Each structure stands twice: as C-alpha cells, then as structure tokens.
Amino acid sequence: MAIKRGIRAKIFLLSATIILIPLMVLSLFVMGRTVTTAEKNHENYQQASMKKVGQAVETIMRELERASLFMIGDKDIRTYLSTGDKELLDDVYNTLIYLRNNSDYIKAIQIEGANGEVLANGSMPLNITRADRERADALNGKSFWGQDEDIYGERYLYLCRLLRDTENPSHHLGTAKLYLDSRGLSDYLRSEMEPSMNYVILDEEGRLLFNTGFPEEKGDILNYNNLLAGTGGCYRTEEQAKEDEYYLSPYGLAAGRWILCGVSGTGDVDSMISASLLLILGLSVSCFLVCAALALLVSQRILKPLSEVIRHMDTFGHQDFSTRIEVRGNDEAALVARHFNQMADQIQDLIQKVYEGTIRKKEAELKALQAQINPHFLYNTLDIAYWTAKMERASQTSEMIDSLSQFFRHALIMDDDFTTVGNEIEHLRYYIILKRQGKTSFDFELDYEEETLGCRVVKLVLQPLVENAILHGISGIKDGKVEVNIFRDGETLKYEVKDNGAGIDVDDMNQLLEHVETNNRGLGIKNMNDRIKLACGDGYGLSFYNREGKGAVITVTQPFKPAVQTCSDTGRDI
C-alpha cells in the first residue's frame, strides 16, 4: 500500500508542477491586464461623460448671457432706465418675469439704473455691490461671472454686465445682475451623473464655487493647477488610504478660468476589478483542479492493475466471497490476480458446504415446530369440544366454541398476506360474537358498500383495529360504541373504525408508527402499518384523528382492487 501511494504521489506532484507554473504566470499576466483595462475604460467613460456635462453647463451659462443681451436690446428697459417713465414699469417687470420663467436656471434678475432706479425679479441672495459696478464699468460692456454668499453661507453664481444704450454706446444705462439657479443646475447634474459622481466648480484662485455633494473637508485633492493641467482628461489621485482616492475629470469653462470637475469614488471600479480578479482566480483554480484531476486519472490508470487486486482483497475481507479479479496480461499483477481467484474459489466452496448444511438443519427444525402447531389438530380439538357441548345442551358454550373455531380458521388458513374485504368482515363477525358472549358490553355497527366485498386487501387488519377500539377506546364506558365504515374513495378503499371514548393522542400514535417503545408498546399498530406500506406502497397505511366530543377515528387506506370472487356469507348480521 505504501509503495502504491508513493508512486501515485510522485506522478501527481510532477504533473501538478508542470501545470501550475505556466498557469500562475498566465494568471498574473491576465490579472495585470484586467486591472489596467478596467481603470482605463473607467477613465475614458468618465472623460466622455464629463465632456457632455461640461458642454451642457456652458449652454446653461450662455442662457444667462443671452438673457442679459436681451435686456440690452429691449426698448422698454432702455427707455425706462433713460427717462424713468413710470408708465413703462409694468412692461419692464413683465419682461423680467418672462426672462426668469422662460429658463429653468435663472434664480433672480436685478437691474440698477444709472438714474438710481432699481428693478428686481426673484429672490436676490445679494444686491448689486459697488465691486460689481466697478468691475462691470472696467469691462466696458463685457459680462463677467462671480460668486456671492448669503447670510446663511450658501454660495450662488451670477453673471453681471454693464447695460449700454445701443443707440449711444458711450451712454451707460446701468448694471444688470443675473443669479444662476444652483438648485436647478444641481438637479440637472444629478440626472446626468452616475450615483457615485459629484461635480464641483472652482475659480482661478482654487475657491469652491459650486458643489453637488463632494465632502469639502477632502478639498485638498482639488488643486487648481493640477486640474488645469489635466483639463480634458481623467486621472486617479494617489493617497495613502484607498478610500481617499478619487477619479478627477476637469473641464475648462468658457467663463473666466473656471474649472468644472467631475469627482467619483474609486469604490465601484475597485469592486469591479476585485470581482474580475476573483473570477480569474476562480477560473485558474478550476483549471488547475481539472488538470490535477486528469493527472490523478493518469496515475490511477498506470496503477490500476495493482489497485484492482487491493480492492478485491478488501471486498473479500468484507465477506463478499463471490468477488473475482478480471485477469489481463501476463505481468506480476496478473499472476497475483490468478492466485487470488484460486484462493477465493476454494474458500467459497467451503463456505457454501457449511452454509447449506446449516440451512437444511434449520429447515428440519422449522418443520418440526410447524407440525407441533398444525392447524388441523386445533380444528379437530375445537370440533370435539363443540359437539360435546352440544350433547350436554350447553348452547352458549357450543356457540362460543364454534365462533372461536371459525375465528382461528379465517386467521390461519390463508396462504398469503392478502384476502378479501368479505373475509375480513367474516373474521370480524366471529370476533364480535366471542366478545359479546363474554362480560364485555358495547354497541357495534358495521356499514359497508357492496362493491367493496370482493376487493383484495391485506389480511388481519380490520379485526385488530376493532379489538384495539374495544380494549382501549371504550374501556370503562357504560354506553360504549364502536362503528366500522368500509367504502370506496376514488381509487382507494378505506376502513374507518370509530369509538365514542375519550379520544387518543394523535401525535403519540404517529410516533408509534415510526418506532416502537422499549416495552413494545405500539408494536401491533406499527407492524400493521408496515405490512400495508410494504404490500401497497408508501402512500397507504394508517392515520388518526379525534372527533370533537365523540372519540377517536382510525382510518386505513389501501388501493381499491376488485377480486374475482367474494365471500358468500358476509351479509349476515353482526
């Protein structure tokens, strides 16, 4: 045995080494390519998404630019700012309302005229400041973008410009300030972005102007110069902790030198990479196991002749004396197999002779025992007792002896385990006669369907159940009653044995069907159930339930199998 294991181990280890080394090299190469490809694909995807979002944000910002130009070109606004004509005030406000309602991204509009008139529509976080006027004047009509904070610290982006008279460009009409609706912009970005993506806008000084949810305490990674250098691309930050790393995709906005940057965590990409690596590892392990199994099969194939000899010897050692080895070839293993077969033949012959002698002895002992209980001797003895009682005019005794004789006859003369319902009823009839002639007082009712009388059923089932109901169900009850119903239910035949006793413990009875207690309690019920299941199948047997206030019911279910003949005298009353 040790030699066989040593050879098999050497073959297996050699094959596994040849397989494992190139497989490991290939797996490492594929894992590296997987990581690189996954990160590159994510960067390309985020870069393309950022370009789309950046263009959309610029379109939104241009909406505010167009709205400011519209105000310059509106005659009513120019006239009102020049003359202060109050009759135009309603038209001016309608224009401002139109501009604000016509865009989802304008939060508020304010105009401060050179004549001191102030017009506004919407909730202004902050009025036009002196710094706004000075910067607008310096730009001489060009617009600029800025940021304000309200008293609650909330940041707002705005566009501001000088309003000049189109007919006299040197004439300054006032200053206009349009606030970008940050909530509308955030809603748009959230509808476009991935669940793990956030957007921020930074000015040329690196200040955070707009944020959809990126943690500001991690703002150190948003270095303006680095973002400016990486504009139009996507790169991953390198931090000490993996959870602090992000993918950044900066996009340069046309407004000044602002940068719109998409920020996404690395968790999703790392999870995808981990899943891919686990898949590759699993495939590699599976491949190795398959190859190892093939190597094991090869080693077994080489050692099969010797293994066959060992296996048959082990089988022979477990008393399977018929085992033989199929001899192939003329090598040493075949020679061992031939000698083994010869030894097995000799041992089996000896065992067969001893076994046959023992069987014959047991058969002789059994026949002798059967002769001692020959039914004919019992019938003849009961017959003599019956006629003796008749001659002595002991009618009750003779009737009891006759019932007992018939009872034993039905129980003993059947050659197999089956009988008919009619015979079962007849057997039960004699039992009831015997019980009534004793001291037991009870009522008994039997109801059966005629078509069931010839059905083939397992014998000696009905009478033991009725006996059990009398002895245990109605024992000690003054008006005890046992009912038996025999009927067809579809393709099944059913007995129902009912009593009016105190009922039974159904769970306890079901447990007895599974195993018998140490004092043999429930042995008869279990044997009866086992005989039915053995003869008819697992779908048949005994079941129990209690009628509320009326006692127990035992149901026997067997297949409905009509027989050729029926009992001729089952119609007698019991």
Q: What is the band of 472 on the pLDDT scale with cuts at 50, 70, 90?
A: confident
Sign of CA dihedral 238, 243, 244, 245: positive
pLDDT computed for residue 462 by the predictor: 93
Sign of CA dihedral 496, 501, 503, 509: negative
Task: With a cut of 60, say whether residue 376 has pLDDT above it.
Answer: no
Highest mean pLDDT among 196-200, 316-320, 389-393: 196-200
Residue ranges per domain, the chain? 26-195, 320-369, 415-557
Who wins on pLDDT, 60 or 405? 60
Who wins on pLDDT, 491 or 317? 491
Contact residues for 79 (Cβ-Cβ < 8 A; gap 6+): 85, 88
Q: Which residues of 264-283 are buried (b: 16+ CB within 10 A; e: fewer)?
A: bbbeebbeebeebbeebeee
Mean pLDDT across 97-111: 88
Task: With a cut of 80, say whether residue 73 has pLDDT above it.
Answer: yes
pLDDT computed for residue 416 by the predictor: 63
Task: With a cut of 70, say whether residue 108 has pLDDT above it.
Answer: yes
Mean pLDDT across 287-315: 75
Q: Considering only 126-135, 233-242, 270-279, which range has the smallest mean pLDDT?
A: 233-242
Q: What is the band of 372 on the pLDDT scale with cuts at 50, 70, 90?
A: very low
546 DSSP β-pair partners? 552
pLDDT computed for residue 569 by the predictor: 42
Who wins on pLDDT, 370 or 358? 358
Who wins on pLDDT, 242 or 525? 525
Task: With a cut of 60, say whether residue 566 has pLDDT above it.
Answer: no
Who wins on pLDDT, 378 or 243? 243
Neighbouring C-beta atoms of residue 53, cutoff 10 Å: 20
How far is it, in rounded angstroms, from Cα 208 to Cα 156? 11
pLDDT computed for residue 196 by the predictor: 72
Q: What is the band of 1 on the pLDDT scale with cuts at 50, 70, 90?
A: very low
Highest mean pLDDT among 285-294, 392-401, 407-416: 285-294
Average pLDDT, the chain: 79
Mean pLDDT across 504-521: 83
Q: What is the band of 391 on the pLDDT scale with cuts at 50, 70, 90?
A: low
Could you report the per-residue pLDDT of 417-463, keeping only the tens digit for each?
A: 788 999 899 888 888 887 877 666 789 999 999 999 999 999 889 98
- What CATH superfamily is the domain 415-557? Histidine kinase-like ATPase, C-terminal domain (3.30.565.10)
Contact residues for 104 (Cβ-Cβ < 8 A; gap 6+): 181, 184, 188
Task: With a cut of 70, say whether residue 275 has pLDDT above it.
Answer: yes
Residue reference for tokens 């050729």: 564
Beta strands at 246-252 and 172-180: parallel, antiparallel or unpaired = unpaired
Q: What is the band of 213 on the pLDDT scale with cuts at 50, 70, 90?
A: confident
Could you report the per-residue pLDDT of 478-491, keeping only the tens digit for each?
A: 889 999 999 999 99
Task: With a cut of 60, say whether residue 550 has pLDDT above it.
Answer: yes
Q: What is the band of 541 on the pLDDT scale with cuts at 50, 70, 90?
A: very high
Question: Against a cut of 0.85, is the pTM above it?
Answer: no
How far is it, in rounded angstroms, from Cα 201 to Cα 196? 17
Task: With a cut of 60, say whether residue 383 has pLDDT above it.
Answer: no
- The percent of residues above 70 in pLDDT, for the chain, comes to 80
Who wins on pLDDT, 485 or 389? 485
Q: What is the band of 396 on the pLDDT scale with cuts at 50, 70, 90?
A: low
Q: Considering only 42-51, 215-224, 364-373, 481-490, which range has the smallest mean pLDDT?
A: 364-373
Mean pLDDT across 468-473: 88
Task: With a cut of 60, say whether residue 34 has pLDDT above it.
Answer: yes
Task: With a cut of 80, say whether residue 369 has pLDDT above it.
Answer: no
Highest mean pLDDT among 53-67, 367-381, 508-522: 53-67
Six-digit token pair at 425? 């009823």
Q: What is the band of 89 on the pLDDT scale with cuts at 50, 70, 90?
A: confident
Q: What is the CATH number of domain 26-195?
A: 3.30.450.220
CA atoms within 13 A on the CB side of 191: 7
- The percent of residues above 90 in pLDDT, for the chain, comes to 13
Neighbouring C-beta atoms of residue 521, cutoff 10 Å: 12
How far is it, in rounded angstroms, from Cα 108 to Cα 148? 13
pLDDT computed for residue 6 by the predictor: 66
DSSP 145: E
Six-digit token pair at 406? 């018939």
